[in-house]
A = this chain, B = another copy of it.
Amino acid sequence: MKVIYPGSFDPITKGHMDIIERISDKFDEVVVAVLVNSEKNNLFTLEERKQLIKQEIKDYGLKNVTIESFDGLLIEFAKKIGSKIIVRGLRAISDYEYELQIAHINSKLYEGLETIFLVSKAEYSYISSSVVKEVASYKGDISTFVSENVAEKIMDKLIGG
């Protein structure tokens, strides 16, 4: 079975990788779907975000994970690649509210589409890409939130930019 793990991944955190590793262990094929999200003020370009994920996938040694990007409705992407399962990690109550709404909407828009939720590991439950970027912007230590490679690239961006 092929499942989709969608997100902005700006950049990918250890929390994301925990979910990817766990679903890669359970499902035949995992498609990490990177939202193009052109309007949002991203730190990394789409290509950079995909490149960072690619490196992580390689470092974790995951064989059944591919990376693609999508624009517009997630359900259209799901139709295109022939998968009816979306995977999302749940961190907290506020997540839950929002995720529930999106899951309901998506199932209305695409009959038979299923969103399945995994619970984030406790130690990653307070991490998000935006928190990582905020801490980094003040030169805080982000090594417990992202991999060494991602940490370096964030620092390059913040100094370079």
The interface residues of chain B lying within 8 Å CB-to-CB of A46 are: none
A125–B122 contact, CB under 8 A?
yes
Interface range on chain A (Cβ under 8 Å from partner): 35 or more
Number of copies of this protein chain within its complex: 6
Binary interface encoding of chain A residues 85-112 relative to chain B, with 1 for a CB under 8 A from any of its CBs, else 0: 1000010111011101101110011001
The interface residues of chain B lying within 8 Å CB-to-CB of A123 are: 122-123
**Set B75, B92, B140: member contacting A97, Cβ < 8 A:** B92
**Complexed CA–CA distance, A100 and B91 (Å):** 10
Q: Does A156 contact B (CB under 8 A)?
A: no
- Nearest CB in chain B: distance from A37 CB, A: 13
Please name 18 further chain A to chain B contacts, defined as beta carbons within 8 Å, in addition to the given A116-B118, A122-B123, sorted by A numbering. Answer: A22-B114, A26-B85, A75-B140, A90-B100, A90-B117, A92-B100, A94-B94, A94-B97, A94-B98, A100-B126, A104-B119, A104-B126, A109-B135, A109-B140, A115-B118, A116-B117, A122-B125, A122-B126
